[in-house]
Amino acid sequence: MILLGAPGAGKGTLSDWLLERYEIDTIVVGQLLRNEIARGTRLGQVAERTMKQGALLQDELVLEVVQPAIEAKKDKDWILDGFPRKKSQAVLLDQMLCKTGDELNFVASLKVPDQVIIERIKDRFIHLPSGRTYNLKFNPPKVAGKDDVTGEPLSQRPDDDPAIVRKRLESFHHENDPLLAHYDGALVSFRGKTSKEIWPHLSKAVEEKFPNLPRRTTPRNP
């Protein structure tokens, strides 16, 4: 399963809600890249410079973190969040899945107005170790400034600056139409201004597409 949408469209929040309900795993590409940045790797250094500019990383560099993450979840159900972001990446993903024998069954496109996203990101906080995302208006933490699961402090991402967000949105719209056309046969679109508005429609679509997907009976690991 893939979740597509602009930066700040709610992919992280909706992924978390799906993980809380179903026995599935998630691959959050942005978090994988932030892990590389935190470790100071060659890829992390390139990613940090590129993300601060609001641009997209080269396809091959992103694939360096995506491919091993997918291979590690062989024979599991997973959600891919944050990749692909353009048609050329989708083609690379198709080729990789063909080699690994995995199958892409469901592509969800989140449609949220740009101005809503810009306002939302101003109030967005993240738990950096896990990638869990909160919004002070729509999805606040139970304790201000603290992660619900670990109690560790939350922070804002450097690339959540409004000027950078606008540039990221411009890049997103430039690449999005060809990407959606690539996935036309498997694509389902969901419109809304908040994740809570989109959630019932997304969860219903997942239930219909995967009627045998097991429900989670125990809390997942942080």
Q: Which two tokens stand for residue 30?
A: 């942005």
Tabulate helix, strand, coil % of the chain (nearest 5): 50, 15, 35
What positions carry a catalytic annotation?
11, 85, 124, 157, 168
Nearest to 82 by CA among 45, 47, 134: 47
CA distance 160 to 56: 15
In the chain, domain spans: 2-112+173-209
Question: Given this model, what pLDDT does residue 66 score?
Answer: 93
DSSP for residue 213:
P
CA distance 171 to 165: 10
Question: Given this model, what pLDDT does residue 221 score?
Answer: 57
Per-residue pLDDT of the chain (222 residues; tens, 9 = 90+): 999 999 889 998 899 899 999 999 999 898 899 899 989 999 999 998 888 887 778 898 899 999 999 999 888 889 998 899 999 999 999 999 998 888 888 999 999 999 999 988 889 899 988 888 898 987 899 999 999 999 999 999 877 888 888 988 998 999 999 999 999 888 999 999 999 999 999 999 999 999 999 998 876 655
CA 111 to chain centre: 14
Assess contact for 82 and 28: CB atoms under 8 A: yes
CATH code given to domain 2-112+173-209: 3.40.50.300
Assess contact for 125 and 154: CB atoms under 8 A: yes
